[in-house]
């Protein structure tokens, strides 16, 4: 039995629709991204207070993400994992901050791990800081700049200009 042409085109359009939907939904899959210096918990367990020096900690964990520039000698290993679905903003799935403080004897004084659950939301303030000084209008700025630019003829007479690479003025 021969099928009419309408059935053949509907089957083709159904196949096309399925392929298009498959491509669209494949583009909407979630993406995971790891950022920072994630430290394995087994390596964290190797660090004990009063035993390792900075060099030994660096051999075990690698270089830190950040160090305190002043005051106490503290190393931070910071990492986070985000998940992004389609075009939405990424959601932070996991965060880990490993804090290693060194004492005066240059050995590990304390090891502390802070996770995502320990974080706090900080609300941004929407106000602006006023600046003191003269507030000039656009006209005042243009008029104020009129005398600042000299023509090349005046620069040569005044001796303000320097020769270029070819010793030309």
pTM score, whole prediction:
0.57
Q: Which residue has the tokens 């900690």?
A: 57
Confidence (pLDDT) at 85: 82
State the maximum Cα–Cα separation within the chain, in Å, rounded to a whole number.
Answer: 101
Q: How many domains does the chain have?
A: 1
Model pLDDT, residue 86: 77
Asked if the structure places residue 22 within a domain, the reply is no
- In this structure, is residue 17 part of a structural domain? no
**How confident is the model at residue 79, as a pLDDT?**
92
Query: Which positions of the chain have pLDDT values less than 70?
Result: 1-12, 26-28, 147, 149-169
Give the model's pLDDT for residue 7: 45
pLDDT score recorded for residue 112: 92
Residue 154 in domain: no
How do the residues of the chain divide into helix, strand and coil, expressed in percent and rounded to 5?
35, 25, 40
156 occurs within a structural domain: no
| pLDDT at 98 (0 to 100) | 92
- pLDDT (tens digit per residue) in 119-155: 888 888 888 887 777 777 888 877 877 767 666 555 5
* Range(s) of the domain holding residue 62: 28-118
**3 assigned to some structural domain:** no
User: How many other C-beta atoms are found inside a 10 Å radius of the C-beta of residue 52?
Assistant: 21
The predicted pLDDT at position 74 comes to: 92
**pLDDT score recorded for residue 104:** 87
Contacts of 38 (CB under 8 A, 6+ apart): 79, 81, 96
Residue 142 domain flag: no
Which domain CATH number covers 88? 3.30.1450
Helix (H) or strand (E) holding 14: helix 5-27
pLDDT at 80: 92
Is 90 domain-assigned? yes
């Amino acid at each position: 039995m021969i099928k009419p042409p309408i059935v053949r085109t509907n089957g083709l359009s159904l196949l096309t629709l399925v392929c298009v939907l498959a491509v669209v939904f494949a583009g909407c899959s979630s993406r995971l991204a790891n950022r920072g210096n994630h430290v394995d918990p087994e390596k964290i367990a190797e660090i004990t207070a009063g035993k390792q020096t900075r060099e030994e900690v660096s051999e075990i964990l690698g270089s830190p993400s950040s160090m305190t520039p002043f005051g106490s000698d503290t190393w931070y290993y910071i990492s986070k994992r985000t998940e992004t679905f389609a075009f939405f903003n990424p959601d932070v799935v996991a965060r880990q901050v490993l804090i290693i403080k060194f004492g005066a004897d240059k050995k590990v004084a304390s090891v502390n791990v802070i996770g995502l659950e320990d974080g706090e939301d900080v609300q941004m303030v929407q106000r602006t800081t006023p600046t003191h000084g003269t507030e000039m209008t656009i006209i005042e700025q243009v008029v104020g700049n009129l005398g600042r630019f000299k023509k090349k003829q005046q620069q040569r007479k005044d001796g303000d200009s320097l020769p270029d690479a070819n010793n030309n003025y």
